[in-house]
Structure 1
Amino acid sequence: MSILVSVGAQSGQVIIVGGGILGTMHAIMARRRGLAVTHLEREPEGRGASVRNFGLVWVSGRRAGPELALALRARELWESIGAQAPGAGFRPAGSLTIASTEAELAVMREAVNLPDAKRREFEVLSPAEVRSVNPALNGEFLGGLWCRADGIVEPRLALPALRSSLAAGGPGYEWLPGREAVELAPGAVRDHRGDWHRGDLVVLCTGANFTGVAGPHLTAAGALASAPGSGGAGLRRVRLQMLQTRPFPGRLTTSVADGDSLRYYPAYDVPALASLPPQAPVAAENRAQLLMVQRLDGSLTIGDTHEYDEPFTFDVDEDAYHHLVARAAALLGAALPPVQRRWAGVYSEVTGTPALYHRSTVMPGVVLVTGPGGRGMTCSPAIAEETFL
């Protein structure tokens, strides 16, 4: 049953709290159903995990079953959304995961024989075939796993482009930045200026903020992985480090991952995975995998790391960056351009539970949607769609 039906929709008005990709996709899906949207964001522009990521629409690594189905539906939605908002930079570029060892290549060969490999559009390529698909990869490697189903968007451009598309769709979308939600009531939210916004449904997409208006609900529901008695199941926060170079002279036709990514994505949980040698110490310490995407301006986005234990440090670790830059240069067979930006980001994810993300009813007419983890940019269209199904 639709959440809107269950709360007795009457006004056709939805209030979205949170201007990140998950909140913005809820706005898109609400407008597709003819609902009017008031969209609140506490910052002048989204500044959280939605702009601090690779912009990957990443089908390849998703767990078989519901997670893969969610990602495939999201990939389909991204195709149509990207056509309506070309400024978001969606492109069906595919991805290449590069094998530097025979053990990594063995994992890939087992992955392409899984029952769902065709749905992911998997193919194992020789070194020559890898270079044919992505000529910028001129390093030494043994082969690669091509996933044609993967895509790319531009994280620094996507949010304003999507909002522009919403605004161009005619009356019914109101963007209110610089408005922090401070109080909830059934079907209503008050911002810090004292204005109440009312509708049939309030959708809270507050990301990795486990305090604020969502905090009392999360605490009372025992929804945090750190809560006493949770056993580590529930919502947690994850910190990552990334960087961006100046424009690279070559052209990467796909996104790129190294063999360490096989350790972090559940799609590659095959018998050969146990034969992978240990990671390099700096990679193991930072739970690092190389992901690399070329932006539309030619620059390279490179990462990432994973930190789970709070309180998080306030600074960034240069050893992790050195490792990732060296891995990228080895695959490209060329020195990288100078680094232009470094940053850290924090996202929320569900852990210790089969749920793919967190959705709960805060009070009548108010729902909280958060915790997609590293699936956020990929799966947000399909998650938002499920809210209104």
Structure 2
Amino acid sequence: MKKSAIVIGAGIVGLATARALATRGYEVTVIERSSKAVGASIRNFGMVWPIGQPEGKLYERALHAKSIWKEVLAGAGCWSHEGGSLHMAYHDDENEVLQQFAETSSYRPVQYLNAAATLEKSPAVNGKQLLGSLYSADEMIVDPREAIAAIPGYLTAALGVTFIWNTAISRVTYPQVFSGAKSWSADEIFVCSGQDFETLYPEHFSAAPLTKCKLQMLRLEAQPDNWKIGPALCGGLSLIHYHGFKAAPSLPRLKARYESDYAEYLKWGIHVMASQNGLGEITVGDSHEYALTFDPFDREFINTMILDYLATFAQFKSPKVFQTWHGIYPKMTNGQTEIVLQPESGVTIINGLGGNGMTLSFGLCDEVVGGTYAPLK
């Protein structure tokens, strides 16, 4: 007889957990409070981003997650683009970090490109005062809105996963979960509730080093004449946002300069990246504000700062913005990359992936379900 499992939440972490369980023979039911996933899992760049992870376990987890993404996207019939990424340098200290990273990253498919080679890689790069770039072949773009909507159908058709929508689980008492007068039971229960960590096991979350992050993003209209930017594009501020670049010895000096030159940007957690989806639209962002409760209104000056910085390293055929939004995701405050808890026997919480959900979830959840997970020291 098959073992059964309930997964609470149909965002990327819940979908990754459901897939990991179903591929191991579980009879899986996913219960989602909304009629479809509408949280942080669809409000992002769609970047599967190994370049942002430090070498070792997290980089390997990102590569494993990417391999699962490719399998799932193929099964769901979804678009993806393995175009890699470009980080541009316009100052000597940025250029030094990129060169050092390329020299020390012996296990990654990265290379330092001079200005001419950078412009050949992408027609969208701003060539004015460009010194060079770091190209990485690892990165893949998916359309999060398309993928998160399509993956449940794939999991149902290919792996027999059952989805129950419009059902908020308000209480868990193993082996049962409750939504009002309704209840379901399973051998194992997984809580993948994302930013809504106040509802289930709130005492465990309140004791954890966990907060929330609000980020603002924009989308530019589909580029005319099917014009493509090629790789995902990043400015220098991204070098101090992602832990992967700590491998470059001169990074602290660059960070010190940014703290002086870009103090207002760092105050609002702004670093700027651009990715293009299969429709030709370009997603741009983002900012980072940390709290447990946020003003629900977006700040227009943040969007302006993002677009101003974007113009320093990228130029598009059409710069017209047609959508703006914000997302909120849970974020660890102690430097860890996730939280995995067992609040009671038979129940597992997976949360706290921060901005790495698209990059790491498939790998992390495969480890947790497969019994190979161990927290980083």
TM-score (norm 2): 0.91
Show structure 1 runs of 5+ residues with no match.
1-9, 224-233
Report the Cα distance in structure 2 between the residues aligned to 1:77 and 1:156, rounded to whole angstroms: 18
Contact 2:233 2:314 in 1 (8 A): no
Deviation at 1:191, TM superposition (A): 1.8
| Match status 1:82 vs 2:73 | yes
| 1:362 paired to 2:352 | no
Larger CA deviation: 335-344 vs 49-58: 335-344
Give the aligned partner of residue 19 of structure 1. Answer: 10
Q: What is the CA distance between 1:214 and its match in structure 2?
A: 3.0
- Residue aligning to 1:166: 155
Q: Does 1:126 align with 2:117?
A: no
In structure 2, C-alpha distance between the alignment counterparts of 1:235 and 1:21, rounded to whole Å: 19
Distance 1:74 1:361 in 2: 23
CA distance in 2, matches of 1:218, 1:264: 25
Residue identity matched to 1:382 = G
Q: What SS does the aligned partner of 1:327 have?
A: helix
Report the residue type matching 1:263 in the other structure. Answer: I
Tell me if structure 2 keeps the 8 A contact 1:111–1:267. no
1:148-191 CA-to-partner distances (Å, cap 9, x unmatched) read: 01111111111121111112216x32111100001112122112
Structure 1 segment 261-340 matched on structure 2, within 5 A: 261-269=238-246, 270-276=248-254, 277-278=257-258, 279-334=261-316, 336-340=318-322
Aligned to 2:374: none
Aligned equivalent of 1:254: 231
Matched residues in 1 for 2:16 and 2:74: separation?
15
Once the two structures are superposed, residues 10-48 of structure 1 have per-residue CA deviations (whole angstroms, 9 ceiling, x without a partner) of 642110100100101111111111211111110111111
The verdict on how the C-alpha distance between 1:182 and 1:334 changes in structure 2, with shifts beyond 3 A counting, is closer
CA contact (8 A) 1:325 1:336 kept: no
Please report how far the alpha carbon of residue 312 of structure 1 lies from its aligned counterpart in structure 2 after TM superposition: 2.0
Distance 1:274 1:132 in 2: 30
Whole-angstrom CA distance in 2 between matches of 1:129 and 1:29: 41
% same residue: 28
Match of 1:98 in 2: 88
**What do the CA deviations read for 1:111-156 (whole angstroms, capped 9, x no partner)?**
1122xx2433111111221122222324322111111011111111
CA distance in 2, matches of 1:333, 1:345: 25
The amino acid that maps onto 1:189 is V
Partner amino acid, structure 1, of 2:107: R
Question: In the alignment, what sits opposite 2:63?
Answer: 72
1:76-103 C-alpha deviation (Å, 9 max, x unpaired): 222222222232x232221111112111
- Which residue is 2:188 aligned to? 201
- Partners in 2 of 1:274 and 1:359 — Cα distance? 31
Aligned length: 362
Q: Decide whether aligned partners of structure 1 residues 274 and 356 sit closer, same or farther in structure 2, where only a CA change above 3 A counts.
A: closer
- Paired residue type of 2:213: V
Residue type at the aligned position of 1:315: F
| Distance verdict in 2 for CA 1:196–1:11, change over 3 Å | farther
The answer to whether the 8 A contact 1:282-1:319 is kept is: no
Report deviation, 1:310. 4.3
In structure 1, give the amino acid aligned to 2:144.
P
Q: Can you give the 5+ residue segments of structure 2 that lack an aligned partner in the other structure?
A: 371-377
- Aligned match of 2:210: 235
Report the Cα distance in structure 2 between the residues aligned to 1:345 and 1:29, rounded to whole angstroms.
26
Residue 171 (structure 2) aligns with: 183
Match of 2:219 in 1: 244
Amino acid corresponding to residue 275 of structure 1 in structure 2: R
1:11, 1:215 → 2: CA distance? 31
1:342 corresponds to: 324
- For 2:305 and 2:155, locate their aligned partners in 1 and report how far apart those are by CA, in whole Å: 41
In the aligned structure 1, how far is the partner of 2:200 from the partner of 2:266? 36
TM-score by length of 1: 0.88
Deviations 1:292-314 (A, max 9, x none): 01111111100011111343222
Query: Aligned match of 1:382 in 358, 363, 368?
Result: 363
Among 32, 45, 48, which residue is 1:41 paired with? 32
Change (3 A) 1:310 1:200: closer
Displacement after TM superposition at 1:335 (Å):
6.3
Match in the other structure for 1:63: 54
d(CA) in 2 for partners of 1:157 and 1:36?
A: 25
Q: For the aligned residues, what is the CA RMSD?
A: 1.7
Take 1:334 and 1:176, find their aligned partners in 2: how far apart are those partners?
A: 42
Deviations 1:265-294 (A, max 9, x none): 112122211332224343122121111011
